[in-house]
Structure 1
Amino acid sequence: MKSICVYCGSSLGTRPVYVEAAQAFGRALVEAGCSLVFGGGRVGLMGTIADAVLEAGGRAVGVIPQLLLEKEVGHTGLSELHVVADMHERKKMMADLSDAFVALPGGAGTLEELFEVFTWAQLGYHAKGIGLLDIDGYYRPLVAMLEHTVNEGFMQREYLDILQIDAQPDALISKLQRYHPPRRDKWASEREAV
């Protein structure tokens, strides 16, 4: 695994633990020999993780739309900064440049990016690992909701198990390195019933 795409907030959150975890994850990426691919901003947890990677001697690659270059204050000290036309191009390039995906705490944008690659994995558009860095139980309510979708018959258990979850950066990276995608086709049972 050469590069990990990190989705996270353009804000710092309300508690120092989020900043500390982003810094720790950045250092863990470098220790694991992985480059960072991220949204290219200098602010919030995005900037925090990029700075941690760069300070540890690692490679940080940002992808930011022209419209957000000023709003998210594009990071000018990166190994590479790709300025693209829009969010669709941003997400596609980030996915193409990455071998795995990790969501740190963030808001609607982080969740939207996470769910897009999670859906793509279920549909077989990629076989890359997806992780949640569950800092202080941040993602516990989300995981409970996803468990509810399984219990109510809207998701198969093996697809929920695509998500690798851990509170420790190095442990999460190890899980992603060992990840194997589900072998079952999402609609196999429906085709067999016809």
Structure 2
Amino acid sequence: MKIAIYCGSSFGNNEIYSKRAIEVAKALAKHKLDMVYGGSVSGLMGIISNEALKNGVKVTGVITHTLESKEISNKNLKELYKVNTIRERKALMESLSDSFIAMPGGYGTFEEIFEVISNTQMGEHKKPCAFYNINGYYDKLLQFLYSCSKEGFFHKKYVDMLIVSNNIEEIIEKIKQYKAPNAKWES
């Protein structure tokens, strides 16, 4: 099973994020899971990819030519796809992956996870989407999503389908047991 990890190209202001990135890499190795990610050596992306490689995880990177030209790709990767645009990057990562975990990150992380969540809702795939809620990072976002549901803009089941935990082992177990809800227009 290949898990896409979406996370920051920054470290964040609390060292807990870096420590938990290392824990994720070790958990992937323990469960014999492969990793797909954005191909960078910067921030949490660099920590998790290098730690995963060190622990024997097969890591696949997907990076744009523009980012590659800035020399921020992880040179330790044996498998690195180079694409023209961020849209191509997201599409390839989605097709290569069996599930998705968003760790703390910025706009890129949000965009990546929300696109695959939306594709679940639309029935494009039935792959699990998770938020690794380190340090309560996603608490307010999840409150907002339930508020959106309450206001009638999407069904509550599309919030409930999200795997949310501050424990990577729990996330992995829930990914293994995941059953997607019906798509928006399915009965």
Residue in 1 that maps onto 2:97: 98
Separation in 2 of the partners of 1:58 and 1:66?
25
Computing the radius of gyration over CA atoms, which structure comes out larger, 1 or 2?
A: 1
Moved over 3 A (4+): none
| 8 Å Cα contact 1:100-1:128 kept in structure 2 | yes
1:30 Cα deviation from its structure 2 partner? 1.2
How far off its partner does 1:66 sit?
Answer: 0.2
CA distance in 2, matches of 1:126, 1:72: 33
Partner of 1:123: 122
Q: CA deviation at 1:187?
A: 3.4
Matched positions, count: 187
Percentage of pairs with the same residue: 39
1:46-80, Cα deviation, whole Å (9 max, x unpaired):
01110111111111110000001144700010131
Quick check: 1:43–1:72 contact (8 Å CA) kept in 2? no
Q: How far 1:87 moved relative to its partner?
A: 0.8
- Contact 1:27–1:56 under 8 Å retained in 2: yes
Q: How large is the Cα RMSD of the aligned pairs?
A: 1.2
Aligned counterparts, 1:1-194, within 5 A: 2-71=1-70, 73-183=72-182, 185-187=183-185
- TM-score normalised by structure 1 residue count: 0.93
SS at match of 1:62: strand
Partner Cα distance (1:162, 1:171) in 2:
15
Give me the TM-score of the superposition, normalised by structure 2.
0.96
5+ long unaligned stretches in structure 2: none
